[in-house]
Structure 1
Amino acid sequence: MAAQNPIGWFEIYVTDMDRAQKFYETVLGVSLIELPNPEGTTGKMMAFPGDENAPGASGCLVKDEMGAPSAKGTLIYFVCEDCAVELARVEAAGGKVITPKMDIGDFGFCGIVSDTEGNSIGLHSMQ
């Protein structure tokens, strides 16, 4: 079996799905897709676009009682062409820039933001 990245899926918990969906679609310039609920659940899931044959992982926003938004939990980085573009969209979309674009040497650039739900997320690019 070929080596693979260790993350296969992620879930970002939200309290207001419509608000969170608008934030992520605006900042990342993508359209999220509603997923069917797993049997026995009542939450709502909106998936980020993804290709299971491409490197990296996809995931979704989740509104469910099993999780709650948090700024102090796991930090997920979204890949960008130039993270300055997405960082510039954050405040207009209702979020807050925590760390502006910073140089991380050979690993490119990143910034950290707070989404509309109170989650911290990272934006990463090589330029």
Structure 2
Amino acid sequence: MERLSKDTNALNWFEIPATDLTRAKAFYEKIFEVEMMVIDMMDTKMAMFPTEPPHSGGGLVQGPDHKPSKEGAVIYLNGNPNLQLVLDRIEAAGAEITLQKTSIGESGFMAFFEDSEGNLVGLHSGE
């Protein structure tokens, strides 16, 4: 059996559904203090999170097959160096923290929030 490289990341790509891409883009740009690039692909609009290889990429997506949800798979976005910095901007950006910064032992810290579109999203950081 062929094995995956130890450098292979289980996460290859992610998409966070949005019903209003402009609103969702403004929300994520505010809480992460980044600029997101918007692209159109067929009948779908996307706002891409900035990334550089070898890190996995992804973005916000608005299209007929993408519906925001608080149920199903949860992605954890990088909150390093300290996810509290991101949490401190969430409510001011118009969203709700559903689980405050919580220790997960040697693995760091986690938190959950419901974004501007109604998705449940996780945060993870070492501090």
Which residue number in structure 2 is paired with residue 111 of structure 1? 111
Deviations 1:6-44 (A, max 9, x none): 11100011001111001101111111111241xxx2121
- The question of 1:120 aligning with 2:123 is answered no
> What is the TM-score of this pair, normalised by structure 1?
0.91
> What is the TM-score of this pair, normalised by structure 2?
0.91
- The question of 1:100 aligning with 2:87 is answered no
CA-based RMSD = 1.1
Which residue number in structure 1 is paired with residue 51 of structure 2? 50
2:21 paired residue among 5, 17, 22 = 17
Q: Secondary structure at the match of 2:89?
A: helix
Which residue number in structure 1 is paired with residue 68 of structure 2? 69
Identity, % of aligned positions: 36
Which residue number in structure 1 is paired with residue 5 of structure 2? 2
Which residue number in structure 1 is paired with residue 84 of structure 2? 84
CA distance in 1, matches of 2:27, 2:72: 19
How many residues were matched structurally?
A: 122
1:52: Cα distance to partner? 2.1
Q: Which segments of 5 or more consecutive residues in structure 2 lack a partner in the other structure?
A: none
Deviations 1:81-118 (A, max 9, x none): 10011011000101100000011001000110000100
